[in-house]
Amino acid sequence: MQRNHNHPTICTIEKVIDETPTVRTLIFSDDVMSNVLPGQFAMVWIPGINELPMSVMISQDKGKAAFTVRRHGPASTGLYNIGPGQQIGVRGPYGNSFDIKSGKLLLVGGGTGLVPLMRLITHLKPTDNVTVVMGAKTKDEVFFEDLANHLLQKNNHKVIVTTDDGSYGTKGFVTDIVEKLCKEVKFDGIYTCGPEKMMYKTVQIANSNNLFVQASLERMMKCGVGICGSCCVGENLVCKDGTIFDGNCLSSNPEFGHFYRNKAGILENY
Amino acid sequence: MLASGILGISLDVFKRIHQSGAGAVVTKSLSKEPWEGYPNPTIFSVKGGGWINAVGLSNPGATNFAKMISQNKDVPIIVSLVGSVGEDFEFMVSQFENCKVVAYELNLSCPHVAKVGLEVGDDPELVKKIVKTVKKSTDVPVIAKVGLGTTHYLNTVGACIDSGIDAITAINTLRAMAIDVETQRPILSNKIGGLSGTPIKPVALRCVFEISSKYDIPIIGCGGISTWEDAVEFFLAGASAIQIGSAIGDNWLEIFNEINVGIEKYMERKGITKIEEMIGRAKKS
């Protein structure tokens, strides 16, 4: 039967990688998910528990894809605890993807927000000059540094890690580094995904330097297809208009960087 | 117009839907207090078309919502309300006193939440009390949205009309479910949800036809309308207006303009100058 992308395809988890004490990558075989564009997401059904929007992580193996999840609430912890041999349902892919520029590129990620950026790296040209800035709270929570270096081995590249407590890399926030870099380099494209405050600041810095920037937003989602309205940010729906938005659109959005909607749809402050 | 339950929690999105060609937007059903709704999965795509949802009437509550739309100037907003007793509705209507609202739509037919919706619609005496209470509380038109429950929906419509309702929206989603054969469990967290979209269109059309044949009341057709032909069918069956919901999941907001243009071309081809001319025409044959 032809695959309906709105219908959950049942996939069996084949391998689990502990990235940090709170983050795991779950690998499974699926041709459709292995080929999604950077920034696209899937709705992931954890049978009996919940369904979550997840950016689709790359796998080094052909025909495979993954989800990288941090255990946080009941739903993400449910996914985190799925072991090899267990099944999940996957529908999608949904959403748009990064507008890929070439030349001098800056990728700014925090936590599991690095997932779409890793997939973006696999779409870059060997001639691109790529700087990746990744932030974590502490040394134990740094992940994908080696992966980024490995994926970029043919490129002129730099991977900069910051930790809030200074236990690894540069002490401070990724946005401090971004501010410094944007003064020195005229980037052809800046891409960011992670905590909204980090993206907000990154977009502000890029806009004030007249640099092209795109951010991948996250909101509560129920349907993923533009029906339920849960994921609206101002006049935009993250599932249908995003998840990728460019700097101009975000700078005129009154909710970006300030508010998100809770499960009842009430605006709350970040 | 935009059907209730779809996309309706932000004024900015309402503006966009209105600009896309919807004559009016119906909000998500609002309750007296904020509701979180059910955990995901809340929406399921049926193979061959249609959706089953059990969102669980998640909404920010009437008071928060009224604050959000208080700045509304241009969008014709129909506020959908859900509750168990007349007092709930009276309170909610009072919250919208300072808002620009063109009508209220009473949700007497949500099929997947206990003690409200269809459970209210199935009790004609309760329906009468609620409709009378709301009619007393406001001067704007009051619409009742009916569905197929255990009481014959025509009796529910009759109870609404006896109590002074101004119009009827027909129909809501139909109780349905889906089971995943690999994991052998129901997909929706609530197990039972409401079926919407193209599979229910012929049922909704029949209901509109039956209501308009039995009663003299304006009807808003709702249920699986996804093309201009569907819309025209509802007009011919007796609907004065139509609502679009699930089709947005497949065609996004372009659907409103596509349907508007299709209806205009049809009217031109048939020499019809006003929609009123085709309302209920199919009943004559």
Kindly write down the DSSP assignment for every residue of A114-153, as one continuous string.
Answer: HHHHHHHHTTS-TT-EEEEEEEESSGGG--SHHHHHHHTT
Choose among A73, A67, A195: nearest CA to A134: A195
- Kindly report the nearest CA distance between residue A251 and chain B, in angstroms: 16
* Phi, psi dihedral angles at B185 (to 5 degrees): -145, 155
B12 is written with which tokens?
A: 């900015």
Angle between helices B62-69 and B11-19 (to 10 degrees): 60
Could you give the CA distance from residue A206 to residue B60 in angstroms, rounded to a whole number? Answer: 35
Q: Which of B33, B43, B187, B195 to mutate to test the interface with A (most CBs of A within 10 A)?
A: B43
Contact between chains at B9 and A223 (C-beta distance less than 8 A): no
pLDDT tens per residue, range B196-239 = 999 999 999 999 999 999 999 999 999 999 999 999 999 999 99
Q: Where are the domains of chain A?
A: 9-94, 104-269
- The pLDDT value recorded for residue B282 is 96
Structure tokens at B189: 């967290």
Report the number of distinct structural domains present in chain B. 1
Inter-chain touch B6–A229, beta carbons under 8 Å: yes
Chain B residue with minimum CA distance to A1: B47
Return all residues near A26 (Cβ < 8 A) that are at least 6 apart.
Answer: A13, A15, A16, A66, A67, A68, A69, A79, A82, A88
Counts for chain B of helices (H) and strands (E), in that order: 10, 13
pLDDT digits (tens, 9 = 90+) for A37-86: 999 999 999 999 999 999 999 998 999 999 999 999 999 999 999 999 99
What ranges in A55-214 are assigned the alpha helix state H?
Answer: 74-80, 114-121, 145-151, 174-184, 196-208
Which residues of B are tagged catalytic? 110
Q: In Å, how far is A267's CA from the nearest CA of chain B?
A: 9
Q: And the tokens for A127?
A: 């001639």
Which DSSP state fits B59?
B
Q: Determine the straight-line distance between the first and last CA of chain A, rounded to whole angstroms.
A: 44
Is A9-94 a CATH 2.40.30.10 domain? yes
Provide the residue count of chain A.
Answer: 270
- The conformation of residue A98, written as its DSSP 8-state character, comes to -
- Scanning every residue of chain B, which has its alpha carbon at the shortest distance from the alpha carbon of A48? B189
Whole-number pLDDT of residue A1: 55
> Kind of pairing, strands A9-18 and A23-29?
antiparallel
- Which of B37, B61, B183 lies at the smallest CB-CB distance from A47? B183
* List of E strands, A217-258: 232-233, 236-237, 244-246
Distance CA B100, CA B73 (A): 7
Q: State yes or no: pLDDT of A99 exceeds 90.
A: yes
> Is the pLDDT score of B284 beyond 90?
no
Cβ distance B58 to A237 less than 8 Å, yes or no, reads no
- The residue in chain B having the minimum alpha-carbon distance to the alpha carbon of residue A268 is B60
CA distance B276 to chain A (A): 30
Instruction: Kindly report the CATH number assigned to the domain that includes residue B157.
Output: 3.20.20.70
B-chain residue closest to A3, CA distance: B47
The DSSP output letter for B38 is P
The chain A residues in contact with chain B (CB within 8 A) are 1, 4, 6-8, 10, 43, 45, 47-52, 75, 87, 89, 91, 222-230, 232, 234-235, 237, 240, 261-266
Residues in chain B: 285
Q: Which of B16, B39, B246 sits opposite A227 (nearest CB)?
A: B246
Check B60 against A50: CB less than 8 A apart.
no
Instruction: Tell me what the pLDDT averaged over chain B comes to.
Output: 95
Across the interface, which of B36, B185, B249 has its CB nearest the CB of A264?
B36
> Could you read off the pLDDT of A112-156 as tens digits, one per residue?
999 999 999 999 999 999 999 999 999 999 999 999 999 999 999
Q: What is the mean pLDDT of residues A15-27?
A: 97
Identify whether B3 is part of a domain: no
Cβ-defined contact of A89 to B60 (cutoff 8 Å): no
pTM, to two decimals: 0.94
Residue type, B136: K
Residue B170 domain boundaries: 11-283
Burial class (CB in 10 A: 0-12, 13-18, 19+), B12: middle
Topology of A104-269 in CATH? Rossmann fold (3.40.50)
**pLDDT one-digit tens code per residue, A181-232:** 999 999 999 999 999 999 999 999 999 999 999 999 999 999 999 999 999 9
Whether the Cβ atoms of residue A193 and residue A115 lie closer than 8 Å to each other: yes
Q: Is residue B6 part of a domain?
A: no
Q: What amino acid occupies position A30?
A: D
Best interface-test mutation with A: which of B4, B6, B10 has the largest number of A CBs within 10 A?
Answer: B10
Structure token digits, residue A247: 């700097």
What is the spatial distance between Cα A247 and Cα A213, in angstroms, rounded to a whole number? 5
Do A9-94 and A104-269 agree at the fold level? Answer: no
Round to whole Å and give the CA distance between B116 and A236.
31
